[in-house]
Structure 1
Amino acid sequence: MRFAQPPLLAGVAAIALACAAGQALAADPAPEITRPAATPQAVGVVHTLRQIPEACARIEGAFTGDSAEPYRYAVVRTRPNCQPRARFVDAAKAQPSEAAGWVFNDLLRVPSVECPSQQAVVRVWRKPVDQTVELDGQGQSRIYIEEAKRAAAAGTIAAIPMYAAEMGVEGKACSR
């Protein structure tokens, strides 16, 4: 038999959860992309969080049911023949921040079906680069092989945009 929570306790719990989420959001800058929380996901169900076509990557995640590591995510390549125009890098190594030239791109929240008080939170960062292309006298962008080889040998290849993702779990863990 299940007992209903008194309305006051349920209200206090909801306010506490909202305050905790509000504190986490207050620390984040406003993301470029604003979206609602994702559909609640069950334990063991792998789901796509976000696709980044220019990096030929997809971020996948799943709740594990393990209290030590309740959520796991991975960045996977979308297609073997895709030619990336951006790189996906490890957030722990890149340490993305606005001060370092990164842009807070997206905030993804995924609630758990089994534990509604807990949600996975993935923060996606983007580091843009100036990709203005010089046009020749005919207004065309051209790449000359010999010039490209010399630039590669000299280590002066143009930078490409980068993406990084940080994952965390927020909220109270449920007992099993």
Structure 2
Amino acid sequence: MRLIAPLLLLAALPAFAADPTPEITRPASTPQADGVVHTLRQIPEACARIEGAFTGQAAEPYKFAVVRTSQNCQPRARFVDFDKAKPSEAAGWKFNDLIRVPSASCPSRQAVVRIWRKPVDVGQARDGQGQSRIYLEEAKQAAAAGKIAAIPMYAAQMQLEGKACN
């Protein structure tokens, strides 16, 4: 009997070790009620907001979407589909954020959003203020020559964890 508890802990270790340490650490969010749309995270450089809502329906218990913050915003980063990008640290991605949102109507259930970021080495000279500047004419000439610089990318994945309530 004394051997069973340590063996169970060892079996559970891979589940805890699955995620690397995120760049941003935060506690779990406040529990959210069914039908209430809430912002999970804003990413200004991608002109995007990640929002979600518990639906209270068994078929689709949580809705999750990346929405544009403003039509006038000029993105300096891009959101890509998680399943197509397959982010991993080996591929140059960084585990950026882990967001946990418990359900108010079912405390044993929570939405877990994992956000990955793929930085780009700009390699551009900085000015006296420490800023990297992009000049319109130079950028147009580079684009015409087919030398468009890479931009940072983000990918987000949502999973439900915990036991569903009846």
Deviation at 1:141, TM superposition (A): 4.6
Q: Does residue 53 in structure 1 map to residue 35 in structure 2?
A: no
1:73 aligns with 2:64: yes
CA RMSD in angstroms, aligned pairs only: 2.4
Residue equivalent to 1:131: 122
Query: For 1:163 and 1:142, how far apart are their aligned partners in 2?
Result: 22
Query: Residues 73-108 of structure 1, C-alpha deviation per residue, up to 9 Å, x if partnerless?
Result: 111111221111111111111111111110000000
The gaps in structure 1 that reach 5 residues or longer are 1-15
Give the partner amino acid of 2:135: I
Secondary structure at the aligned position of 2:34 is classed as: coil
Change (3 A) 1:77 1:141: closer
1:169 corresponds to: 160
Matched-pair contact (CA < 8 Å) for 1:135–1:142: no
Partner of 1:104: 95
Greater helix share, structure number: 1
Gaps of 5+ in 2: 1-7
- Of all paired residues, the percent bearing the same amino acid is 74
For these two proteins, the number of residue pairs brought into alignment is 154
Secondary structure of the residue that 1:27 maps to in structure 2?
A: coil
TM-score by length of 1: 0.79
* SS in structure 2 at match of 1:29: coil
TM-score normalised by structure 2 residue count: 0.83
Q: Do structure 1's residue 143 and structure 2's residue 135 form an aligned pair?
A: yes
How many Å apart are 1:152 and its aligned residue? 2.0
Q: 1:32 to 1:135 in 2, by over 3 A?
A: closer
Structure 2 residue identity aligned to 1:172: K
Greater CA drift, 106-115 or 67-76: 67-76
1:41 equivalent among 27, 32, 36: 32
